[in-house]
Amino acid sequence: MPKVLISDKMDPQAAQIFRDRGVDVDVITGKTPEELKAIIGQYDGLAIRSSTKVTKEIIDAATNLKVIGRAGIGVDNVDIPYASAKGIVVMNTPFGNSITTAEHAIALMFALARQLPEADASTQASKWEKNRFMGVEVTGKTLGLIGAGNIGSIVASRALGLKMKVVAYDPFLTPERAIELGVEKVDLDTLLARADFITLHTPLTEQTRNILSAENLAKTKKGVRIINCARGGLVDEAALKEGLESGHIAGAALDVFAVEPAKDNPLFGVPNFISTPHLGASTSEAQVNVALQVAEQLSDYLLTGGVTNALNMPSLSAEEAPKLRPYMALAEKLGSMIGQLAHDNLTDISIEVEGAAAELNIKPITGAVLAGLMKRYSDTVNMVNAPFLARERGLDVREVRHDREADYHTLVRVSVQTSQGERSIAGTLFGNANPRLVEIFGIKIEADLDGHMLYIVNTDQPGFIGAVGSTLGEAGINIGTFHLGRREAGGEAVLLLSVDERVPEELMRKIEQAPGVRIVRALEFF
């Protein structure tokens, strides 16, 4: 039975979901890093919020850990590259607090438009400054969305309901999706020039850091109001302060800051500035939602192999997993075989699918191929760290789908570039379940890839198979199955033998010295 640790406070229903689904769960919160290191080694899964810091040291101590689940969006507290290198899946729950965060952005927009915090403070101070607080309507104003993903699209929907015009800057927003959302897709400079209000809804990356820089803030319309409920670091806080003090920026509301907790920020006390302490996801509904989602996601992964909202591997739903699992087994065997046979420093690999395979999610198939291939470099490789290892070695990965008639109802082909040119192998599924090799380096051959095997390339000639069988028999090596393929009579031939044990190196050299033999390789598939 898999075992999960919940190390941060979250809704009790999360622990109950684990128990109901047959996962052993411990709820142990408030541990120091040293205390967590002492216990983490016994767990397969770790469910966290923002308090637990999953550092390199914690990951090194987590010898059985397979998956980390963050109840929420931000994973700044997880060393994702190191987790990936260790083969640990990292998930978040990006949709559980989407409505809550979007509503907070809208709330801050209204607060800015009507100067609500300052008016409240003034009134409670018995000043009754009715003429001091002159707000603006949002109706008819232009809202500029920087980021039109899940949360941004909800903000757009709410803004359109308020009769605002919405323009959006998002490199990943397609024209079709923009029409569907009812927004106008624009470049960043156009958004900055036209927007009366700007809201940010993008992750913090090297491309988005300080996207509202001093230079870009200077391009905004005079009197603009800026709201950030996404990530600290998207706005240059020093430049924002200057814009507020000069009057170019009419107001700003930040729920997130470059340094958190933000207890001493230069924006504090600046007129027309509103701040909240990272409350975007802070509603009772959101906290329940993310807790339930992280429990479901971790359970799916540990029990069925389903991968949802993973940040370091392709998603694979619990419904997809059973259908894809045979393909992933085939793909891993093909990757392993080509990794064992192609000994060059590989720079390119192509994964092609056709027939029924072309209708599936190709990403898990690619991940399985790379996992098989990368076994030549690491004995702890899996689908999570295989792409990481491939990138580390400069391997260029290409995926191709073919919509064409073929000899097999489904086919996966793996090709690599070597010093001898392209080398390609292909496999199919028999009965939609059993992986089978059907082609190797242009030669048709059908074989199961399992256990210890011997791969021999030779010139097709009478008596060769008997000679190999006799040589192995004299050495006490039992042959399980043998599979033959050739280009043409008397031409290049391939022999694949399954044997009950690994063939010793000296015996392979003896076979290699036989007349007509070109290559002898021992293969392993476990």
Note the residue count of the chain: 526
Average pLDDT over residues 390-412: 86
Strand partners, 496: 455, 483
Which residue type sits at 246? S
CATH class of 98-275: alpha beta
CATH 3.30.70.260 domain residues, the chain: 450-526
C-alpha torsion sign, points 211, 216, 221, 223: positive
Average pLDDT over residues 145-154: 93
Alpha-carbon distance values, 402 to 305, 405, 412 (Å): 27, 9, 10
Model pLDDT, residue 344: 67
Model pLDDT, residue 257: 96
Statement: residue 390 has pLDDT above 80: yes
Statement: residue 483 has pLDDT above 80: yes
pLDDT single digits (tens) 93-117: 988 888 999 999 999 999 999 999 9
CA-to-CA distance for 164 and 150, rounded, in angstroms? Answer: 19
> Which tokens sit at 68?
């980390």
pLDDT single digits (tens) 338-359: 989 886 678 889 999 999 999 9
Statement: residue 246 has pLDDT above 70: yes
Q: Do residues 260 and 232 make contact, with C-beta atoms less than 8 angstroms apart?
A: yes
- Average of per-residue pLDDT values in the chain: 91
> Which tokens sit at 143?
């809202």
C-alpha torsion sign, points 474, 475, 481, 483: negative
Model pLDDT, residue 309: 86
- Identify the H or E element spanning 423: strand 421-430
Sheet with strand 396-402: strands edge to edge: 396-402, 348-355, 410-418, 421-430, 434-440, 443-447
CA-to-CA distance for 52 and 33, rounded, in angstroms? Answer: 8
| Residue found by looking up tokens 């047959």 in the block | 22
At 388, the pLDDT band (50, 70, 90 cuts) reads: confident
CA-to-CA distance for 253 and 101, rounded, in angstroms? Answer: 14
* More confidently predicted of 403 and 334: 334
User: On the CB side of 127, how many CA atoms lie within 13 Å of its CA?
Assistant: 13
- Who's near 93: CB < 8 A, 6+ residues apart? 69, 70, 71, 72, 73, 289, 290, 293, 294, 297, 309
* More confidently predicted of 126 and 433: 126
- Who's near 75: CB < 8 A, 6+ residues apart? 90, 92, 311
Strand partners, 200: 146, 228
CATH placement of domain 3-95+285-304: 3.40.50.720
Average pLDDT over residues 462-470: 86
The SS3 assignment for 142 reads: strand
- Identify the H or E element spanning 328: helix 320-341
User: Across the chain, how many H-helices and E-strands are there?
Assistant: 17, 22
Count of beta carbons in the 10 Å neighbourhood of residue 43: 24
At 267, the pLDDT band (50, 70, 90 cuts) reads: very high
Which of 212, 94, 229, 211 has its CA nearest to residue 158? 229
Model pLDDT, residue 380: 66
CATH placement of domain 450-526: 3.30.70.260
Model pLDDT, residue 422: 85
Statement: residue 378 has pLDDT above 70: no
DSSP output for 61-93: H-TT--EEEESSS--TTB-HHHHHHTT-EEE--
Average pLDDT over residues 177-186: 95
160 alpha carbon, distance to own chain's centre = 32
Statement: residue 207 has pLDDT above 80: yes
The catalytic site residues sit at 231, 260, 278
* More confidently predicted of 207 and 344: 207
CA-to-CA distance for 456 and 468, rounded, in angstroms? Answer: 10
Which residue stretches of 438-493 are H helix?
Answer: 464-474
Count of beta carbons in the 10 Å neighbourhood of residue 327: 25
Lowest mean pLDDT among 11-25, 270-284, 382-396, 421-435: 382-396
pLDDT single digits (tens) 289-317: 999 999 999 999 999 888 888 888 777 77
Statement: residue 321 has pLDDT above 80: no
Statement: residue 474 has pLDDT above 70: yes
Statement: residue 377 has pLDDT above 80: no
Q: Is it true that the peptide bond before 261 is cis, omega within 30 degrees of 0? A: yes
Q: What are phi and psi of 349, to 5 degrees?
A: -140, 140
Model pLDDT, residue 379: 64
51: DSSP letter: S
Average pLDDT over residues 274-281: 93
CA-to-CA distance for 16 and 25, rounded, in angstroms? Answer: 9
Q: Do residues 452 and 481 make contact, with C-beta atoms less than 8 angstroms apart?
A: no
17: DSSP letter: H
CATH class of 319-446: alpha beta
Q: Do residues 349 and 422 make contact, with C-beta atoms less than 8 angstroms apart?
A: no
Statement: residue 391 has pLDDT above 90: no
212: DSSP letter: B
pLDDT single digits (tens) 60-72: 999 999 999 999 8
At 476, the pLDDT band (50, 70, 90 cuts) reads: very high
Q: Do residues 65 and 36 make contact, with C-beta atoms less than 8 angstroms apart?
A: no
CATH 3.40.50.720 domain residues, the chain: 3-95+285-304, 98-275
